[in-house]
Amino acid sequence: MTRAALPLSRKLVELTRRPGARGSGGGPVPSDPALKLGYLKQVDILAPLSAEERAWVAANTAMVTCERGRVFYTPDEPGEVVFLLKHGRVSLFRLTPDGRKLVVAMLDAGTCFGEMGLLGQKMYGCYAEAATECLICVMSRADLQALVRRNPEVGLRLLDVVGGRLQQREAEMEALAFRGVPARLAELLLQEADAFGTVTGQSHQDLAERLGTYRETVSQVLGRFRAERLVAVEPKRIRLLDPAGLQAYAEG
């Protein structure tokens, strides 16, 4: 095994041995090559690949599943490993000096993340946690470099991903510095609501971690929104009763 392959090998062993993480044969990890290729087609950065190049990626990467709440990447891990998110949602977070969790990004299926030094992409002390059950593809730095050499358009798409993420982070930092919790919470609820105006799967603590504040503060603001008939707070969900009113808060 080459030196470049060692970090990837360690990561795969770690993921498949941890409770709640399943390797090939232990869960819904596609062993059928056609099914695996189908998942790869859903990753935006791989869209430019030919069928032959996509088959190469399938042969040189491994897929694993992680249950919700599983932290599968920590800042002290050596080497560069890239994750392609096929299914589910991933939370990237940091720990504040007082031990609170601050979510810096929520990633949806079809994107990539991890240590990618060749593109200037770093995790910068972040942890990666499965916000829902996830299916992820693990790729080594050497394999990513080989893929970019085979198809430079993949590198351009990766740069777009990195640039977009930096812009999003700058906007979030600006909001944290200049906008109050009510405005940021209203905007977050509008972003997270489904087509029926319902936010599910987000506890008060989850929302607080997304906003960089305390759970008690989120509960107080939600209480204000409820009193103003902007939302209905129910077990395991929040219904948006007045999206226009929330939008006014978000813009105020």
- Alpha-carbon distance values, 153 to 86, 156, 167, 200, 252 (Å): 20, 5, 21, 37, 41
More confident: 40 or 12: 40
Q: What is the pLDDT of residue 198?
A: 96
| Cβ atoms of residues 88 and 36 within 8 Å | no
Tens-digit pLDDT profile for residues 141-184: 778 788 888 888 877 777 776 666 666 666 666 666 568 899 99
Between CA 187 and CA 190, with CA 188 as vertex, the angle to 5 degrees is 65
Q: What is the pLDDT of residue 73?
A: 86
CATH 1.10.10.10 matches 179-251: yes
pLDDT reading at 130 higher than 70? yes
For the entire predicted model, the pTM comes to: 0.64
Q: What is the pLDDT of residue 178?
A: 65
Q: What is the pLDDT of residue 25?
A: 36
Q: What is the pLDDT of residue 11?
A: 54
CB-based contacts of 234: which residues, under 8 Å, 6+ apart? none
CATH 2.60.120.10 matches 5-175: yes
Q: Where are the domains of the chain?
A: 5-175, 179-251
Per-residue pLDDT band at 138 (split at 50, 70, 90): confident
Q: What is the pLDDT of residue 242?
A: 96
Q: Rounded distance, CA 186 to CA 188, Å?
A: 5
More confident: 184 or 28: 184
Per-residue pLDDT band at 115 (split at 50, 70, 90): low
| Cβ atoms of residues 94 and 126 within 8 Å | yes
Q: What is the pLDDT of residue 117?
A: 57
Over the chain, what is the mean pLDDT?
Answer: 78
